[in-house]
A and B are shown apart, each in its own frame.
Chain A
Amino acid sequence: MFQTLKSYQFLFEELVKRDFKTKYKRTVLGMAWSVLSPLLHLLVMRLVFTRFFGRTTPHYTIFLFCGNLVFSFFSESTNQGMTALTGNAGIFTKVNVPKYLFLFSKNVQCLINFGLTLCVFFVFCALDHITFTWRFVLLLYPIGCLVLLNLGLGLILSALFVFFRDMQYLWSVFTQLLMYMSAIFYSVDNYSPKVQRLFLINPVYVIIKYFRVIVIDASLLSWHYHLLMAAEALIAFGLGCWMYKKFNHKFLYYV
């Protein structure tokens, strides 16, 4: 595994470069826009929802930002990842290269975006008088799980997209639904404990909640919570790897 990764390192770097350049078309604004767009989203939500939920939730801007930060990374990464195979069909039908490289390279791209937005997030935290503690280091854990989850879903979606070209529309409907179920702009405290537990099925919510607990509540989560998060991400990743392995030589017939 590591041997193959090493031998494809050069190709991987070149693919990342290509995705980066074609996405931003060598414009400075292109890059700034990808940070600005979640911020505008945040602004709109802040204006609309403060009246309904803002009064009861402390640090409501940061509360929203946690949700937006995680969800926009998730949605960008899965939506971009979906076309990883079809977009590179011209390459893998001519050269024998591992097909997951295309997806991974797209995800590097989204991870960079996420990193930039995360910096802005910390600036907002400082402005909102949030105390930075050593616990912030723990945020690396949900970020790691989120990357794994994005990769897993990206693998699954890009494979499905080869077979079913309407996946794009179905997935955008599903992401919308998921957005409402991820408690981005509302708090789940008003629901009964039973319903609150149901929210934990949604891995995106699990990650958002982790961010909120660390940043806003300045407290820690139990080890089962960590385990749950890792399990959800690993299931998605495992399923994705399995699909790529199973259909590795079938994709060719469909592109």
Chain B
Amino acid sequence: MSILEARNVSIRYITGDFKDIGLKEYVMRRLTGNYHVTEFWADKDVSFTLERGEMLGIIGSNGAGKSTLLKAVSGIMVPTEGWIHREGSIAALLELASGFDGELTVEENTYLRGAMLGYTRKFMDEKYDEIIDFAELKDFEERPFKQLSSGMKSRLAFSIACLVKPDILILDEVLSVGDGAFRRKSEAKMREVIAGGATTILVSHSLPQVREMCSKVLWLHKGRQIDFGTDVSGICDRYQDFLDGKLML
């Protein structure tokens, strides 16, 4: 039995007039027949399977539907059509630096984020010093979060997130955090987590990274699935050709 299986997953977004118009305007537009909503398929008919310990790389240009697919895999969204079956715990590290509260101190934000990721208080008490050390924020613990630089913010976010020990790990562009020195450190840490046996999904714009680390590749383009399989180098070669303009879809 696969640890993660997605079958014909399609996800529809609705776009158009409905946002920010308010009830009064909504009623008016409904009455005058001026209310328009358009549908937009962020993902269409995507299927893949993952076995325990495998690592899937998702590639594709911007707007390919990668992040939407990950949201469906992690359970934040439900597929409009198709289904996703998963076994065990799942941790999705998406757009790390958002979701912090600017008014709270670094310490308070650390605990809040830990709680969001499903850690226990005991675990946080034990790991707190380690997190702050890793993020190199020893002198900033009592500072309001809004005073931190954006690099510091993502460093903290990464340092909390990398302690997860899930069965399925989802990484959306998180291997590239901070400046040169921290980047190397964080990459090493992430490899450690992956080596811990988690089944991993990696979204990356760095093809060398995908070639080196992944055992399966899924290529998405404008919501459609172009290719999926274990032939990592073959698919990556074709994607590179596509990026160079040699291959038309």
Contact = CB atoms under 8 A, between A and B. Distances in A.
B115 A21 contact: no
Given A10-B115, A91-B116, A96-B74, A21 B98 contact: no
A109 to B, nearest CB: 15
A193 interface: no
A28 interface: no
Contacts of B195: none
Q: Is the interface of A mostly helix, strand, loop or mixed?
A: helix
Contact of B92 (A11, A13, A92, A96): A96
A249 B26 contact: no
B77 interface: yes
B121 interface: yes
B119 interface: yes
B19 A21 contact: no
B76 interface: yes
A21 B109 CA distance: 12
B22 A166 contact: yes
Interface residues of A, number: 30
Nearest to A97: B116
B20 A165 contact: yes
A253 interface: yes
B111 A92 contact: no
B112 to A, nearest CB: 5
Interface stretch (B49-57, B99-107, B179-187, B196-204): B99-107
A156 to B, nearest CB: 13
Given A18-B101, A94-B99, A252 B77 contact: yes
B95 interface: yes
A92 B75 CA distance: 11
* Chain B: interface size category: 35 or more
A14 interface: yes
B98 A90 contact: yes
Given A22-B103, A94-B98, A254 B78 contact: no
B24 interface: yes
A25 B103 contact: yes
Contact of A93 (B76, B103, B119): B76
Interface in B116-139: 116-121, 124
A94 B14 contact: no
A248 B98 CA distance: 21
A255 B120 CA distance: 29
A227 interface: no
Contacts of B77: 249, 252
A47 interface: no
A166 to B, nearest CB: 3
Interface of A: 7, 10-11, 13-15, 17-18, 21-22, 25, 90-97, 160, 163-167, 170, 249, 252-254
